[in-house]
Structure 1
């Protein structure tokens, strides 16, 4: 079932609860260039985001070796800092207006918004 999604993202799947999804979490594998689009809520907490990634991605692909983020507060939280230390994941933050750092993800987001 699909519902209207704000921010020009076309249609987002509706959730089973009272709240419909209103955003997508985008992950791009830098080796294969395969994107993963996870419907989510813009106001999800760092814990909800961690559970989403663990249940939908890590359980399928295995633990990441490196994450490049756009300094989203979910990734700068103490929870993510601890997860990176426990699992040995290298966390890098991209700088604004520097597409070489996370250009793959930014391009996938643009493609999603254009649809």
Structure 2
């Protein structure tokens, strides 16, 4: 059983085929795989070795909620325009946001994406 296609489908990423040693696509996949491996290793260290595969949904949520150093944003913010919340987050009244009207929300999302692109361009 190959887990690569399962992870790619589950995380909703696009698989890009390229020539060998093509850095534009190699780095993205390697970084995501490295992050997932690190997360799985941590869970296995705490005794979850027999059922780590059942923890993938929680790992996915944590990955999508984490701020990435290259963009300065979470994947959820870049793709959806907001960060995922857990039920415990919603119970805190200070975290509840009032969503703006569509036009201002689109401007906000464009600004977030432009800032992430700028940070990535500055890194290279």
Task: Tell me the TM-score normalised to structure 1 length.
Answer: 0.31
| Bigger relative CO (Cα 8 Å, ≥ 6 apart) | 1
Structure showing the higher helix proportion among its residues: 2
| Bigger Rg over Cα | 2
Structure showing the higher strand proportion among its residues: 1
